[in-house]
Amino acid sequence: MPKLRNILLTGGAGYIGSHVALSLIDKGHKVTIIDSLVTGNKKIIPKKANFVQSDIANIETLESLILNNKFDALMHFAAFVKVEESIDKSNKYFDNNVRKSKILFDTCVKNKLNNIIFSSTAAVYGNKSKFPIVEDTVLSPLNPYSRSKLLAEEYLEKLSKENKANYIILRYFNVAGADPLLRSGLIAENPTHLIKVASEVVVKKRDYIEIFGNDYPTPDGTAVRDYISVSDLADVHVLSLDYLLDNNKSLIMNCGYGYGYSVKEILNKINLIIDNPLNIKIGKRRKGDAISLIADIQKIKKILKWEPKHNKLDDILKTAIKWEKKILHE
């Protein structure tokens, strides 16, 4: 019988954090969520989670929580995540994603909470010519968002070398879809996520979707991404938790499916499952966007024995659209 764990989870009112919290709770684990609600939404916090509204850099709150709960691990999701915004507001990203993460990690380690799972991004790889991308590829982040994630990674690695922490860093490729039971999904102001924006067009929340660049050196000229279901990603975190606590071994692993779809392929697929075709416009490339990102997932499959359960693209797209319809009427 699997051991039941007690988890401190930051960013649980956000897209990925809320799904991971659901997956943990579904498997019987205890979850305490800390979230400032600056970008998060209280209505997607799982009802069975303990919730504390606070900034992740509030040392007094953190220490009180850690000292009054026997947490087995920290799962850190809280972050600003918009690439284009990060270019215009880099200080905001370095303050929140780096400085505050360091305070969080230091406070946890000081209080003997030294098992940490960190939510990172494949954007740390930058533009690469060889695919799929393996974890030891040279890192070359293209924007302040991905640079901020890399700096947080490096700080965790420093703590590990000092024998202060064990970590698993998970580098996500493009996360998509929603919980099959529609308990959570992506809620965002001014979203930039392709499938989210397309879903808003489907439910007539916006008039059109714009393709940012059709002159990339790819088969159809549009950028290519490796999309992973948010539910599969949530399961990866639960497996990572068990591995980390059972082995006390630090790891960095990619999270994706090992194959990619272009922007046009995604939009064409959506057109096949809806009644009225999307209104699509062609725009210029966005600053900071990579040409193609496809994960090598041999490491995560071998170490965690992970097998995707939600990797049908149709199902990912359908859950995203169903979620959009649900929140439209709430």
- Reported as a pLDDT band with limits 50, 70 and 90, residue 219 is very high
pLDDT of residue 249: 93
Alpha carbons within 13 A on the beta-carbon side of 74: 31
In whole angstroms, what is the distance from residue 136 CA to residue 253 CA? 10
* C-alpha pair distances (Å), 318 with each of 84, 101, 144, 291: 27, 34, 32, 26
* C-alpha pair distances (Å), 78 with each of 3, 23, 112: 26, 17, 21
Q: 256-274 burial, b for 16+ CB within 10 Å, e for fewer?
A: bbbebbbbbbbbebbeeeb
Which token pair is 58? 């509030």
Into which CATH architecture does domain 6-177+227-255 fall?
3-Layer(aba) Sandwich (3.40)
Query: Position 10: which residue type?
Result: T
pLDDT of residue 17: 98
CA terminus-to-terminus distance, the chain: 39
Domain boundaries, the chain: 6-177+227-255
Which token pair is 102? 């360091």
Average pLDDT on 239-258 reads: 96
pLDDT of residue 218: 94
Q: What is the pLDDT of residues 1-48, one digit of tens each?
A: 578 999 999 999 999 999 999 999 999 999 999 999 999 999 999 999
Q: What is the pLDDT of residues 84-103, one digit of tens each?
A: 899 999 999 999 999 999 99
- Reported as a pLDDT band with limits 50, 70 and 90, residue 79 is very high
Give the residue among 206, 213, 209, 179 at the shortest CA–CA distance from 194: 209
At CB < 8 A and 24+ separation, what contacts does 184-187 make?
184/15, 184/18, 184/19, 184/22, 184/44, 184/46, 185/15, 185/44, 185/319, 185/320, 185/323, 185/324, 185/326, 185/327, 186/15, 186/320, 186/323, 187/15, 187/41, 187/43, 187/44, 187/327
- Reported as a pLDDT band with limits 50, 70 and 90, residue 287 is confident
Helices (H), 3-143: 15-26, 59-68, 83-88, 90-94, 100-110
Among candidate residues 15, 93, 145, 243, the one labeled active-site is 145
In the annotation, is 257 catalytic?
A: no
- Reported as a pLDDT band with limits 50, 70 and 90, residue 288 is confident
Give the residue among 68, 67, 72 at the shortest CA–CA distance from 2: 72
Contact 285, 215 (CB under 8 A): yes
Calculate helix-pair angle for 144-161, 100-110, nearest 10 degrees.
Answer: 20
pLDDT of residue 53: 98
Contact 2, 19 (CB under 8 A): no
Average pLDDT on 224-249 reads: 97
- DSSP 8-state class, residue 261: E
pLDDT of residue 189: 87
- Is the pLDDT confidence value at 131 over 90? no
pLDDT of residue 128: 87
Give the residue among 74, 68, 67, 140 at the shortest CA–CA distance from 103: 74
pLDDT of residue 1: 59
The least confident of 123-127, 128-132, 190-194 is: 128-132
Please give the backbone phi and psi of residue 217, each rounded to the nearest 5 degrees, phi first: -80, 65
pLDDT of residue 129: 78
pLDDT of residue 299: 97
pLDDT of residue 3: 86
- Reported as a pLDDT band with limits 50, 70 and 90, residue 290 is confident
